[in-house]
Amino acid sequence: MAKTESTLFNMVASLAVISAIASASLGFVYQLTKEPKRAAEMAKQNFAIKAVLPEYDNDPLRDAYEIESFDGGEMLICYPAVQNGELTGIAVNTWTMKGFSGLVRLMAGFDATGNIINISVLEQKETPGLGTKMADAEFKDQYNGKNPGKNNLAMKKDRGEIDAITAATISSRAFSDAVERAYKSLEKAGKFEK
């Protein structure tokens, strides 16, 4: 078999063919994994909603609505829990950019008066073994039962009521910031009983 002459045209044509095959392959894999990835994200979100709300007989996903963040940032999605026609709680998909590695996204559950029911970590890229401990019950359960309007959710080293994660104060502060964003936004929107 004769060897093809190495010319600029042949090199460009070879690279174009290789690029086209690689692009088609990436597009195919993206389309193949897009729906399973979306389904996994929805399942994670549904699990988080159930974990942070009291019992309900409505469909919080169907009844979801958006509210403006108290500081004018990205809109927050709220999932109301209704039992026998009465609001028993609201789950809020909240966020902050103050994490050690940037974005921290939580699902925070509040009762009708603003007390925290539970919190679930949806997304974070904090330091493994340090900031990632924000998802551990030992840290996040400190917030349960507290009301951000009445309790100081700052770290104890900042004269607050929360024990920071050892060696991960920035991540701990970010967690509190996201919870307070949810509370203040719900309060501004008038969603709590007086």
Q: Is residue 75 a part of any domain in this protein? A: yes
Neighbours of 64 (CB within 10 A): 14
Q: Is residue 32 a part of any domain in this protein? A: no
- The predicted pLDDT at position 175 comes to 97
Q: Is residue 34 a part of any domain in this protein? A: no
**Angstrom distance (rounded) from CA 80 to CA 91:** 6
- The predicted pLDDT at position 102 comes to 93
Domain count, the chain: 1
- The predicted pLDDT at position 4 comes to 67
Q: Is residue 15 a part of any domain in this protein? A: no
Q: Is residue 46 a part of any domain in this protein? A: no
- The predicted pLDDT at position 2 comes to 64
- The predicted pLDDT at position 5 comes to 73
* Residues in CB range of 188: below 8 A, 6 or more apart: 67, 68, 70
What range does the domain containing 123 cover? 51-188
- The predicted pLDDT at position 7 comes to 87
Model confidence, pTM? 0.81
- The predicted pLDDT at position 143 comes to 97
Q: Is residue 125 a part of any domain in this protein? A: yes
Tens digit of pLDDT at every position of the chain (194 positions):
567 677 888 889 889 999 999 999 999 998 988 898 888 888 888 999 999 999 999 999 999 999 999 998 889 999 999 999 999 999 999 999 999 999 999 999 999 999 999 999 999 999 999 999 999 999 999 999 999 999 999 999 999 999 999 999 999 999 999 999 999 999 999 999 87
- The predicted pLDDT at position 112 comes to 94
- The predicted pLDDT at position 52 comes to 97
- The predicted pLDDT at position 151 comes to 96
Q: Is residue 112 a part of any domain in this protein? A: yes
Instruction: Reduce the secondary structure of the chain to three states and give it as a string.
Output: CCCCCCCHHHHHHHHHHHHHHHHHHHHHHHHHHHHHHHHHHHHHHHHHHHHHCCCCCCCCCCCCEEECCCCCCCCEEEEEEEECCEEEEEEEEEEEEEECCEEEEEEEEEECCCCEEEEEEEEECCCCCCHHHHHCHHHHHHHCCCCCCCCCCCEHHHCCCECCCCCCHHHHHHHHHHHHHHHHHHHHCCCCCC
**Angstrom distance (rounded) from CA 41 to CA 48:** 11
Q: Is residue 28 a part of any domain in this protein? A: no
